[in-house]
Every structure is written in C-alpha cells, then in structure tokens.
Structure 1
Amino acid sequence: MDLFISEPVSTAKKIKYPAQVTANGKLKRSFNASYYGKHPWLEYSVQDDSVYCFYCRHFGGTSNLPGQRYGSRPFIDVGVRRWKDISNFIEKHTRSDRHKDSAVSLMKFKAIQTKELQPIASVLMTDRDNEIKENREHVKALLKVTALLGRLGTAFRGHDKTESSTNKGNFVETCNLLAD
C-alpha cells in the first residue's frame, strides 16, 4: 500500500468485464463500471473478476466483528462476484459498522498526511512532556519547602494528621498553603 494516499481508488473503467453465464444459461452478467460513481471505495480485480472495498482492505483492521458479514470477508479478502446481487451486497456493506469505521480511519489517515491532524504519537509525546514539566514544578516546590524548614530548624510533622486536625505539621500545612 502506498503510504501517501492522495489518488482516488484504482478502478478498471476502460476494460470489458468478463461475463458470467447464469444457471439457466441464457443471461450473462458482469460488473458494471457505473458502480464506481456511487461507491468510490470499490476496487475491481481483473485477476479475480471480483470487487473489493478499498477502505476495509486497508483500514479495516484484522478482527472479525460479530454480525458483520457484509463488513468483513467478502469485500476484504474473498472478493464479491455475484453480479446478480451486487447492488444488495454493496448497500449492506456500505451500512456496515466496519465500513463506516474504515472510512473514518482513512479520513484521519489523510488528515495526518496533509498535516490537518497530528499523529497520535506526537499528541501523546506533547502531553507526556507537559506532564513531566508540571511534575518537576511540584517537586521543586516540595524541595523549597523542605529546604526552608531545614534552614529554620523547624519540625516537619505535627502530632495529629487526621482530616479534622487544624495543625497537621509544618510540612503539610506549608504545602497546603502553596497549593491554594
């Protein structure tokens, strides 16, 4: 798969699609290129004479969601070639949760590629860096309180650290004062 997806899905519009003879031997059915207009996600495989879903094949993940017949194997790795029922298969697939999720994943991927969105790794690193800076500030404040109490020769702890106590000790009280 190309890592920069800027082109529309590859379609085979200018070929003569092979026809399948129906069970009664009279009617011949084949894929119709008009489906590309309504469903830009369709991919036709000349080799398999089948259609696939570009979104689901590349952005659908590997898990099989329960009850997602139309959102899993046929359009992902088996291919659909029952031309008689292709409209129904396509419509059901379009409404499947997997297809919708895959379409959203593709849009997010494109947004990251065009710098409209930041990659999640960048967002996580920024958040982590901010958290580290904030924690360092807290540690600096605790060290300043410790240094002050040490310089003054003052006791750190009090006799009663219960929630109802009015004096929990110099260290805790000073930290609470700075926190407010």
Structure 2
Amino acid sequence: MTKQYAVRNIRLCTKDCLCLYVCPTGATDTENSIIDVKKCIGCGICRDACPSGAISMVPVELPPQQGHTEAVTSALRAIMHSKSEQESIAASLPGRLTAAIERSNRIMAEDMIRESGYMLPQSANTRTFLEKLLDTQHGEGFPRAAVEELLSMLQTNEKTEKGG
C-alpha cells in the first residue's frame, strides 16, 4: 500500500467534528480546517467517520503526469476560452449577481485546469507554467518572489522543458 495522508475539502466540511474524536494522532483540526500532514499516519479513520465526505486520502507521491492528446488539449482550450468570454461578459454588467457569475467562471476555469491534470503539484506542467510566468514581462505588483519560492519548493517527478 502506498503512503498516503488525509486532506479536508473545506467547501464540504460541515464542522460535525467526528474526525477530531477518531483520529489516533490528533492530526485533525477544525479550528482552521486543516489536517496536519506531519501528524497524519494515513490510516483513513477520519475519512470513514466524516459524515459530510469532506476528507479524502491523497498519496504522498503522485504518479507521473499522464500525457495529453491534441484532442484533449484543444477541448480544454475551447472550454477555457468559453469561460473567459463568460467572465468578460459578466464583468461588463452591473450588479452583485454578475460579479458572482464572473468569479464563478474564474473558479470553474481554474478547477478545470487543475482537475484535467495540468496543475497537479508534482506535474512537470506546473513547473513549466511557473517558469513561463517568470520569463514573461508583468506589470508592477507581480509576485515574482512568491513564484520563485514556489519553484524552489516544487518537487516534480518528471522532466520539464528546462530540465527541472
């Protein structure tokens, strides 16, 4: 069995707190909605006890990034373009509802990128994306130091274009 640890989806967490009572190491913390990865032994008891299904088990080392065919990439680009257009349309309209629609489209687009495997923490795509951010000119206020720090901490399990 591969080494794993528990993570909590704070959107699903109902703060029923059963995880607090069953965790043998005290890794769960509902005050700040995190699970301490250093304390978690990966037993999955908290996941099984969670009535809202907010806890999942994640492998410590993710498998290598799956390759993407041109058909998948072009479909993702089309969806992203559509979400971007919807976000722009909503941004130009007045009202609180349109602001919510604008933000919702941005969040959905980010989720699609991540869930399609382009932004997995250990994927070479993430490293390549961050490197391209550093290679591109940005306006004042761009968090260059934060991107460099992320790159220094990021451990990928694949080769990147720059060989990282």
Q: TM-score by structure 2 length?
A: 0.22
Report 1 or 2 for greater relative contact order, CA contacts < 8 Å, sequence distance ≥ 6.
2
TM-score, length basis structure 1: 0.20
Bigger proportion of residues as helix: 1
